[in-house]
Structure 1
Amino acid sequence: MALTWQDFLEGVRNDPHGSPKSRLEILEAARDLFERKGSLKQMTQNERCAIAGTGSQQESKTYRGLHWSWFGTMRGLGTFASLINKAPDNISDALYHIPLSGDVDQEHYEHFVADFSRAFTGEPRAGNIATASRLLAMKRPDHFIALNRANQRGLAEGFGVGYTTIRLDTYWNKIVMPTRLSPWWNHPKPRSGMFNRRVWDARAAMMGCIYYVGN
């Protein structure tokens, strides 16, 4: 977390999996959806599945033909996928607590967690940090990192915490706050270089380029 902006940017550029371009396209498409539709429940099913990572594995069938699973594939999480497909209102209301612009504070996050957890009341499975952080990163990639099996161990090591201790109730203090104290996160937005500026706008979520280890 002591990385300078230049070191962070180099880490993103040198992603051995070649994902920076695809990741940026996904995050920018998600931003466009939230700006145009306003909330998750106003989106079409295909658009919601893209945001949630529950859509088809075939890129030709995904929203804009993008590889949305770069930030975690949630297709196997049946309860979450079902809610996204058929009853998205409560999850959408939870995500609405996170502003699309401006600062995001702990109160915003706690309201999100409370409503996100309630959205699974009576369901066979509860929401978890993977599904929650996926949605948060899609809406505010400048503040949130999507945690999944491909990056959670590496991220936990980088943050100096046990990977099994990162839950909905600890994510803010163990991941979000340290991120916001990091030199690379606090670096001013670059004045030149389109790629650099795009990365800065999504800098928290783009840590996935550095910690992604594949299947």
Structure 2
Amino acid sequence: MEVEFLTGSAVERALGRLIRDYDEFHWAVAWGTSTSLAEKLLSRPSKIRAVTFGLAFAQTDPNLIDSLVRVEGSYVVTEFPKGTYHPKVYGFRSGKRAAAIIGSANFTLGGLGKNHEASVLVTGSADDSVLADIFSFTARSAKLGESVTRELAQRYRVSWKLTARKPRLPRNPLNEVPLPNLKGLTSPLVDMDWAGYVGAVRRSSYHDADESLELLRIAQTWLSAARSFHELSLLQRKALGGVIGQWEKAGDDELNRDWGWFGSMSGAGDFKNRISENDRSLARAVDSIPQKGDVTKEHFDRFVRLFINAFANSHRVGGVPTASRLLAMKRPDVFLCISNPNIDAAASEMGFAKSTLTLDNYWERVVEVIRASDWYNTDKPETDEGQLWECRAAMLDAIFYRPKTA
């Protein structure tokens, strides 16, 4: 048995030679990147016996994972319960001939040349105890993983994109993309850029974008000036709830506009009563959403609990339309009002069945899809588009709105 010490690009050169010269590949590697060497590996799929990459912290290239779909003998480790899947072992075998590279080098651009790495190349017989132990290790590593399906590759690509925006990378990035959310998180809406979003809003046949933004500006002014939703006037609360009557707007410039935009709730009698009665639980629900800063799932869950409490003695409980109407008025940068005229387009674009949307899954199916979108994650423009950016979630209504015909 021979041992050779390798550093720098010598690891890449050795891997290239071993890929060419040996009949079987037995690898266990923490992270990988789609490179020319990866192309050499994948151009010999019949040689792959057990090649396993890890996905921890989304450090593996999604292009590499895409290329492993339905490649027999290739696996990915999505979870390692006691820590992190972190090996760098490259085993090769042809009959009794065997070789392995073991060290610090991942199958990445950094690991194979840019970084300060150290490895050893061991060559000898497959019966040598060290090499036999290496092949046993790669076999056990493969059992930790799972085959790469198209669905898994899609989930990983989305999670890789999402985790790149997070300050703390998750150990298992697939947890960021629950399977029921996959369709929404891979929709064209998510890939739309800011210019495409602005164009779609401006092309709306039913929203005047400037007047819609002015309505949201007024709503934000009212909410910022009051310590609580409970302190707003009756007509302000009705306007924000989308239940104000035409005659109630007369003589007031701020009230005298189309408050039916972003969801008219005029037919929601029990909700209208809660607004008129200045229900304390309803006010606390609105107040639980911060006026500025990050809005979390915990904020939303508290809102839902208080909102439902407001209807404890009502014949009907408020649902997604009425709740999301208030949410969109409070934080138009986070929430979209989903109501009858826009639910068909919203469901189609966000990847959910409209009959299944509830307050229990609104955050996952609506908010998380919005937050995953490229247009949503652009920096605030230093132009007159800045106000649209501040209301970009609620203004999806301009894109989705389709009036119902009798």
- Give the TM-score range, shorter chain: over 0.9
1:86 correspondence with 2:277 = yes
- Offset of residue 113 of structure 1: 0.5
Alignment partner, residue 66 of structure 1: 257
**In 1, Cα distance between the equivalents of 2:228 and 2:259?**
18
The residue aligned with 1:112 is 303
Rg bigger for which structure?
A: 2
**Paired AA for residue 131 in structure 1:** T
Other-structure match for 1:130: 321
Contact 1:59 1:67 in 2 (8 A): no
Higher strand share: 2
Q: Secondary structure at the match of 1:16?
A: coil
Matching residue of 2:244? 55
Match for residue 267 of structure 2 among 56, 67, 76: 76
Q: Is 1:23 matched up with 2:239? A: no
Give the aligned partner of residue 102 of structure 2: none
Match of 1:186 in 2: 377
Is 1:150 paired with 2:341? yes
Amino acid at match of 1:191: E
Which range moved further: 117-126 or 15-24? 15-24
| Residue 60 (structure 1) shift | 4.2
**CA shift at 1:147, angstroms?**
0.8
- Structure 2 distance, partners of 1:132, 1:119, is 11
What amino acid is aligned across from residue 175 of structure 1 in structure 2?
V
Q: Which amino acid aligns with 1:26?
A: L
Identical residues among aligned pairs (%)? 34
Q: Is the 8 A contact 2:213 2:391 kept in 1?
A: yes
Does the Cα contact within 8 Å between 1:75 and 1:81 map onto a contact in 2?
yes
- Asked if the contact 1:53–1:72 (Cα under 8 Å) also holds between the matched residues in 2, the reply is yes
Out of 226, 239, 242, the position equivalent to 1:37 is: 226
Separation of aligned partners in 2, 1:73 and 1:179: 22
Question: What is aligned with 1:5?
Answer: 194
Partner SS for 2:375: helix
Q: 2:394 aligns with which of 194, 205, 211?
A: 205
Looking at structure 2, the residues matched to 58 and 180 of structure 1 have their Cα atoms a distance apart, in angstroms, of 38
What's the CA shift for 1:87? 3.2
Cα distance in 2 for partners of 1:163, 1:10 equals 26
| Other structure's SS at 2:305 match | helix
Contact 2:193 2:375 (8 Å CA) reproduced: yes
1:150 and 1:209 map into 2 onto residues whose CA distance is 11
Q: Distance in 1 between matches of 2:348 and 2:282?
A: 30
Deviation for aligned residue 1:64 = 2.7
Q: Can you give the 5+ residue segments of structure 2 that lack an aligned partner in the other structure?
A: 1-188
Work out whether residues 98 and 112 of structure 1, in 8 Å CA contact, stay in contact via their aligned partners in 2.
Answer: yes
Which structure has more relative contact order (CA 8 Å, sep 6+)? It is 1
Count how many residue pairs are aligned between Structure 1 and Structure 2.
213
Contact 1:137 1:143 survives alignment (8 Å): yes
Aligned letter for 1:169? D
Q: Could you say if the C-alpha distance between residues 178 and 122 of structure 1 is closer, same or farther in structure 2, counting changes exceeding 3 Å?
A: same
8 Å Cα contact 2:239/2:255 also seen in 1: no
Q: How much has 1:125 moved relative to structure 2?
A: 0.7
**Which one-letter code corresponds to 1:90 in the other structure?**
S
Letter of the structure 1 residue corresponding to residue 392 of structure 2: R
- Structure 1, residues 60-100: CA drift from partner, whole Å, max 9, x if none? 43753111101111111111101100132210101111000
Structure 1 145/4 Cα, relative in aligned 2: closer, same or farther at 3 Å? Answer: same
Cα distance in 1 for residues equivalent to 2:248 and 2:342: 22
Give 3-state SS (helix, strand or coil) of 2:338's partner: coil
Kindly indicate whether residue 370 of structure 2 is the aligned counterpart of residue 176 of structure 1.
Answer: no
Q: Secondary structure of 2:369's partner? A: helix
- Tell me if the contact between 2:321 and 2:337 (Cα under 8 Å) persists in the aligned partners: yes
Between Structure 1 and Structure 2, which shows a larger proportion of helix residues?
Answer: 1
3-state SS of paired residue (2:246): coil
1:17 is matched by which residue type in structure 2? Y
The alpha-carbon deviation at position 22 of structure 1 amounts to: 2.0
Q: CA deviation at 1:161?
A: 0.8
1:1-43 deviation digits (Å, cap 9, x = unpaired)? 2110100000011111242122101110000001111221100
Verify the 8 A CA contact 1:59 1:66 in the aligned structure 2.
no
Question: What is the rounded CA distance, in whole Å, between the counterparts of 2:346 and 2:243 in structure 1?
Answer: 23
Q: Is the 8 A contact 1:137 1:205 kept in 2?
A: yes
State whether residues 270 and 315 of structure 2, in contact with CA within 8 Å, keep that contact through their aligned partners in structure 1: yes
